[in-house]
């Protein structure tokens, strides 16, 4: 067992309610620091599990069991050059050279805010590129893929009926995404 750190952003419970924190603890979120920021419930987990995927999956289901609606898992998949530098522990100057094509080839193109001074990249694409160029561990790449898969699962499970999120629907979507991530992990290992 290892301890994995990540954040679940949730909604749907009143932070002023007397039982706000108790609901999370009773549902198994006793390994999370809970706060309410900018209109969202923030649960910062330090969860023990066999894999990062298991940690995220169980946390999402525990948040749902508490009566809250998971909105997404962080760290976010859209990243700036500064975010990339922080996550890779490389200098911002080095990352900028990669992004401009002045060091290394075929660095991923930005996927959002492309015409602005501060474009954003898909963290999974960047992590994959960094891993293939021996700048990032396979573990970090797998975690990036798990977070994106979990967020797609939450989105699809919610989109199914537009309003509510059931544990069964979330489990089903996580299962689908997990198969894809597990296949990627096997490819990285082999």
Could you tell me the maximum CA-CA distance found in the chain, to the nearest angstrom? Answer: 56
Instruction: Indicate whether 154 pLDDT > 90.
Output: no
Instruction: Indicate whether 160 pLDDT > 60.
Output: no
> For the residues 32-55, what does the mean pLDDT come to?
95
**19 to each of 15, 16, 45, 65, how far by Cα in Å?**
9, 9, 19, 14
User: Which of 11-15, 46-50, 152-156 shows the lowest mean pLDDT across its residues?
Assistant: 152-156
Phi, psi (deg, nearest 5) at residue 157: -65, -35
> For the residues 136-156, what does the mean pLDDT come to?
90
> For the residues 175-188, what does the mean pLDDT come to?
56
d(CA 31, CA 127): 27
pLDDT at 109: 95
Contact assessment for residue 49 and residue 55, using Cβ atoms and an 8 Å cutoff: yes
Instruction: Indicate whether 178 pLDDT > 80.
Output: no
Instruction: Indicate whether 92 pLDDT > 60.
Output: yes
Q: What confidence tens digit (pLDDT) does each residue in 46-69 have?
A: 999 999 989 999 999 999 999 999
Instruction: Indicate whether 187 pLDDT > 60.
Output: no
- CATH says 1-74 is which class? alpha beta
Handedness of CA 94, 97, 98, 103 (dihedral sign): negative
In terms of Cα–Cα distance, which of 179, 185, 173 is closest to 140?
185
Whole-model pTM: value is: 0.81
The full set of domain ranges for the chain reads 1-74, 76-190
pLDDT at 127: 97
Residues of the chain with pLDDT > 90, as a percent, come to: 73
pLDDT at 163: 58
Residues in the chain: 190
pLDDT at 158: 73
Decide: helix, strand or coil at residue 103. Answer: coil
pLDDT at 162: 56
> For the residues 39-48, what does the mean pLDDT come to?
97
């Amino acid at each position: 067992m290892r301890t994995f750190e990540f954040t679940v952003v949730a909604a749907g419970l009143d932070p002023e309610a007397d039982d706000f924190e108790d609901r999370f603890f009773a549902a198994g979120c006793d390994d999370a620091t809970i706060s309410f920021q900018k209109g969202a419930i923030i649960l910062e987990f330090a969860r023990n599990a066999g894999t990062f995927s298991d940690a995220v999956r169980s946390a999402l289901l525990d948040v749902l069991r508490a009566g809250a609606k998971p909105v997404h898992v962080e760290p976010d998949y859209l990243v700036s050059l500064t975010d990339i530098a922080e996550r890779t522990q490389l200098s911002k100057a080095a990352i900028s050279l990669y992004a401009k094509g002045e060091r290394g080839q075929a660095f991923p193109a930005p996927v959002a805010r492309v015409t602005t001074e501060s474009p954003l990249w898909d963290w999974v694409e960047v992590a994959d590129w960094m891993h293939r160029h021996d700048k990032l561990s396979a573990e970090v790449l797998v975690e990036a893929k798990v977070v994106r898969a979990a967020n797609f699962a939450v989105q699809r499970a919610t989109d199914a009926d537009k309003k509510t999120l059931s544990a069964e629907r979330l489990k089903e979507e996580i299962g689908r995404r997990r198969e894809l991530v597990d296949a990627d992990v096997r490819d990285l290992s082999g």
